[in-house]
Amino acid sequence: MSATSHEPREAYDGPAVVQVDDIAHDVQVTLRGHFQPLDGHFHWYGRIATSPALDAVRSGAAVELRTPHGTAAGKVSDLDPWGRFRVAGTGTPPF
């Protein structure tokens, strides 16, 4: 995948690669984001679709999330009742 230069968008739905502990997993994501004027940073967040490959991932794990538009570091947190992890980061988003 090659990254393209663009202004941060407010949303992305589609394929991504989440890397946890040097292991890359193909996933589907729904991501959103916004610029927060109080701290001067872009905050992005969303959900990673259910994937058996992520069964060993623990809440709080640091991840690298890649989309066709870019790469960003983030953290996974709560697992919802549907088996989707929440993922979030600050700074340039991966979309």
Contact 76, 59 (CB under 8 A): yes
pTM of the model: 0.84
What distance in Å separates the CA atoms of residue 72 and residue 70, rounded to the nearest whole number? 7
Q: Tens of pLDDT along the chain (95 residues)? A: 444 444 556 899 999 999 998 899 999 999 999 999 999 999 999 999 998 888 888 889 999 999 999 999 999 998 899 989 999 999 999 99
CA angle 17, 25, 75 (to 5 degrees): 70
